Amino acid sequence: MGLRSRIYGALSSSRNAGFAPLRVPGDLLLRVNASLGRPLAPDAELQARKEAQARLEHLRATRAADAPAAAVQAPVVVYYEKDRNSRLLGRIEEILRAKNVMFTKLDVHNDESAMSFVRTQAKCDADQLPIVFVADHAVGDYNALVAADVAGDFAARVWPAVAAKTPAS
C-alpha cells in the first residue's frame, strides 16, 4: 500500500465522520483531491492509471511509426462579392473551418476579369456568389459545397493524396 493510497484511505475513512473538527477538513481535502484529478486514490485505481498510461505511450509510439507524411491540401479559394450574400459567405467559412481547410477569400467586386473567370468556370450568375473553388475545379455555392461534402467529393478534391490511399468500397 503506497503513501498516496494510505492518505486517501485516511481521508475517506468513515471512522472520523461523526467528529466535525476532523470531518470538515477531511471533506475539504477530498474535494481538493477531486478537483486536482484525484492524485490521492486507492491502490487499484493508481495501478489502473499506470497501465492505461503505458498503453497510451505504446499506442502513441506505434502510431508515430505508422503515420504517413502530412497530406498536402489543394488550394481552396472562396470568390465573393462585397456586401452580397454575406450570410452564405459566413456559412461557407464555418464549414471550411470545421473541416480544417485552409482557404483564401477573394473579393471580385471591382475585378471584372476575376468575375468573368468565376462566372465562366462555375457556370453561374454574379448574384450566385460566393463560389468555392478547389484548385481549378468549381465546387459551387453553399448548397453545392454541402452536397459535395456529404458525398465525400469535397474531401477527395482538397486532400487528393489521402483520397488516393483509401481503398474504394
Nearest to 99 by CA among 73, 118, 122: 73
Domain 76-165 classified CATH 3.40.50.2300?
A: no
Is the pTM value of this prediction over 0.85?
Answer: no
Domain boundaries, the chain: 3-66, 76-165
pLDDT by residue for the chain (169 residues), tens digit each?
Answer: 788 788 787 777 777 667 777 777 878 888 888 888 888 888 888 899 899 999 999 888 887 666 555 678 899 999 998 888 889 999 999 999 999 999 999 998 888 888 888 888 888 887 788 999 998 899 989 999 999 999 989 999 998 876 556 555 4
> Residues 21-33, buried b or exposed e (16+ Cβ, 10 A)?
eeeeebeebeeeb
Angstrom distance (rounded) from CA 137 to CA 60? 37
